[in-house]
Chains A and B, each alone.
Chain A
Amino acid sequence: MRPHPRQRYTRRDFLQRSAASAIALPSLAAIVAACTKPGEENVTGQNLLTPRPDRPVTLPMEIDPIATDTPIEQDAELVLFNWDAYVWKPIVRRFIEKFADYNPSFTAVTTFNNMDEAVAKMQAGQIEADVFFPTIDVVPKLAISGLLQPLNHDLIPNMEENVWPQYQNPYYDQGWRYTVPYVVYTTGVAYRRDVVSDDEIFGMDNPWEILWDPRFENRAGVYDSYRDTIQTALLKRGITDLNTDRQEDLDIARDELLAMIDAVNPRATVNGAYKRLPQDEFDVHLAWSGDIAAGWGYVPEYTRDYYENLGYWFPEDRVGPIDNDCIAIPANAPHPRLAHEFINFMLGYKNAMDNFSWVGYQPPQNETDPGSLTTTEGLYSLQSGWAEPAEYVLPWMEAAVVRESDFDVGYRQAPLTAEVDDRWHDVWQQFKAGVNAST
């Protein structure tokens, strides 16, 4: 029997059709969404993504920082998302002890191999960390995408009290809305002093060329990092724009890197400077100052004789690559108040310097006297009964000490636009593929 129009839907029909709608509507939405071609969203604020020292950016704040009166989380497990060996665990344990009243549990440190991997994990929501240690180039994109949370300055008083004035307003994050600086470093050349004398490398007209010297065939290394290695080729040829978008410059860098393969058969490493050069696997290696400062901790025998084999060159006029890394709090941090406390703790002078004694990377602390770093023993050395004493920076590696004034003359790496970044990657790919090397 045909139902009356007002009774067209029986209760069963209604339930069936409701269920069908419940399934179909989201599916339809998904189909409609799927009909939008991925990657076609507008990219707003391209300039925000590519700040420069002469084009600083103030990153937008979509949300407010946590309130100052937010209580410290009880029984929290503080998770650090960091490079391997980039924070000294005893310092973290010291933090845990300081906040024992709040019973923070074991502190886990999750590591990553490169910043792209770290960002990908954060973007995919795979990481729920309280504290993250980003490089400058990813800070704008993380902040704009809402993956970082703004910092409450009231909870980090050590930033204004202890940290170099220039970092109160860094070009990549004006007003330090999302980040504080963690460490500063220069990029130069590490060498074995039993093979290359200080006088020899510092006396060279162009010491970058030592990485191309056939004398070091099979004994030369560069970082497995496209920006740092390509910039070395640029600097060798006197090109000082480390963010160049000129194809001619990149062609020169490519030719130089391919020439390096012919000359020395270099190896691209992540641990060549701080670990493998001290262990006599390399004679010369591109190096961040912090890596070679920590190198004494990896020599085969912990004696001054072995320490003295390590050397570091950086231009004497201090006109060379210089940069810093940051600390930030992810937007999804489970314990943001504790994270603020941790950042403030790490910016404390003593904690920062003790961490420096093991990590090798210098914190930008006002109280630090650069002149004393090569004469003062750090905590790690003091505690290492098995090792002969080592200064924060070994005395003959004065070049590895970073001064605030170095930033006035140094060259800074900055984020590249996508198109330029692709061209840099092209150069890097040709080098890594050894396109000119014989089989």
Chain B
Amino acid sequence: MSTLPPEKAVLAPRRSRRSERRATAVDSGVHYPRWFWPSFATPGILWLILFFLLPLYTVLSVAFGTVDPIFRSPLPVYQPWWWTTSHVAEGLGKATGLFRHVYARTFVYVFIASAICLVIGYAVAYYVARHAGRRKTLLLVLLISPFWISYLMRMLAWVNLLQQDGYVNRILTFLHVVPEPVGWLEGRPITVILGLVYGYIPYMILPLYGFLDRIEPNLLEAGRDLGGSPRSTFLRVTLPLSRPAILAGLVIVSLPMFGDYFTNTMLSGSPSTTMIGNLIDDSISSTGQGPEAAVLILILMIMLLIPIWYYLRSTARAAEAR
């Protein structure tokens, strides 16, 4: 039985599906104009336009632009019809030629550092989520506490700790772990990798903790009831369930690691440990190299789309499966 008022009922045959939906909303006593729900996205869209699309277009304009004839500072060209491809071609040529070692090195460093972050971060997050008991809050605060100090200050502290006569070497030599002080700051890849791990591991722990904490204890009990040992319950229940969190953690730590330049600058400074971020930083601070820096940024962005795409695809599949 129609509940439409008589004057509207005559229009019913010509109604579109959208009108029907609106009518249903009216029926339920709430009327939302068409723009109401989409308008909630406005702040996010504005944010994206102002702080992502415009800066990205500026980077594009620098990459396809030119340089000031006197000061050699980058001059973005905002009109696409005047874009020049020479810098882009040069940057692409270098990326696949001269700089391929740097890209390979960066991938290796980020891969190892992310793996270490995962191993340590998972153990810590698992302990806090499942076994910390009343100390959970305290441990969480301690985990977040490094964020209270800037990354710069934390790295400067490590520079002091890792010096030839720093506390790290004093402790290691005192415990006879090493016979003599190690030159941690002498341009060693291991120092850079451990620096990356230190800098980004909280970003791994927090999402893992958030997910592990939400796993239903009933599921784990069911696993054990079905005869699973603690190890097999972990491997067959907990680990598969935490896969989305592992992926999220890996994406969150590896993306900024790819662009990181500060860790290497502070803890090494050697050309043999240069990462992509250092190349970009060097180009930005060199006269006449601005467009090349922009090209390197674009190449890095495109490369990072791959893990992001994989993450989105995996989470979408997981959502479908549920």
B-binding residues in A (CB < 8 A): 34-35, 37-39, 41, 43, 49, 113-114, 116-117, 119-120, 123, 141, 144-145, 218-219, 221, 224, 226, 261, 265-269, 279-281, 300, 418, 421-422, 425, 428-439
Contact = CB atoms under 8 A, between A and B. Distances in A.
A13 to B, nearest CB: 34
Contacts of A279: 163-164
B72 interface: yes
A268 B269 contact: yes
A437 B164 CA distance: 25
A334 to B, nearest CB: 23
B104 interface: yes
Contacts of B183: 218-219
B238 interface: no
Interface string B281-297: 01101111100000000
Interface stretch (B17-25, B95-103, B170-178): B95-103
Contacts of B82: 37
Interface string B34-69: 000000000000000000000000000000011111
13 contacts: A38-B66, A38-B77, A218-B186, A261-B270, A265-B272, A266-B271, A418-B69, A418-B72, A428-B282, A429-B98, A432-B278, A432-B282, A433-B271
Contacts of B289: 425, 429
B271 A432 contact: yes
A123 B105 CA distance: 36
The interface centre, meaning the residue of A35, A266, A428, A432 with most chain B CB atoms within 10 A of its CB, is A432
A340 to B, nearest CB: 26
B243 to A, nearest CB: 29
Contact of A422 (B99, B271, B288): B288
B206 to A, nearest CB: 30
Contact of B269 (A41, A269, A431, A435): A269
A433 B283 CA distance: 11
A120 B74 CA distance: 10
B68 A261 contact: no
A38 B67 CA distance: 8
Contacts of B188: 218
Contacts of A141: 70-71
A39 B288 contact: no
A428 B288 CA distance: 13
A218 B182 CA distance: 11
A265 B287 contact: no
Contacts of B69: 39, 41, 43, 418
A310 B82 CA distance: 56
B234 interface: no
B77 A37 contact: yes
The 6 closest A-B pairs by CB, nearest first: A434-B271, A218-B186, A437-B272, A39-B66, A267-B269, A38-B75
B268 interface: yes
A269 B98 CA distance: 23
A244 B187 CA distance: 31
Contacts of A268: 269-271
B285 A434 contact: no
Given A300-B165, A433-B102, A49 B271 contact: no
Interface of B: 65-73, 75-79, 82, 98-99, 101-102, 104-105, 108, 163-165, 183, 185-189, 268-274, 278-279, 282-283, 285-289
B271 A431 contact: yes
A39 to B, nearest CB: 4
Contacts of A433: 98-99, 101-102, 271, 274, 279
Contacts of B68: 39, 123
B156 to A, nearest CB: 12
Nearest to B283: A429
A279 B64 CA distance: 45
Contacts of A428: 282, 286
Which of B108, B165, B285 is packed against the most chain A CB atoms within 10 Å? Answer: B285
Contacts of A430: 98
A279 B163 CA distance: 9
Given A120-B73, A141-B71, A281 B285 contact: no
B288 A434 contact: no
A361 to B, nearest CB: 23
Contacts of B272: 261, 265, 434, 437-438
Contacts of A269: 269
A429 B77 contact: no
B78 A34 contact: yes
B99 A117 contact: no
A145 B72 CA distance: 13
B164 A439 contact: no
B267 to A, nearest CB: 10
A265 B66 contact: no
A437 B106 CA distance: 13
A280 B99 contact: no
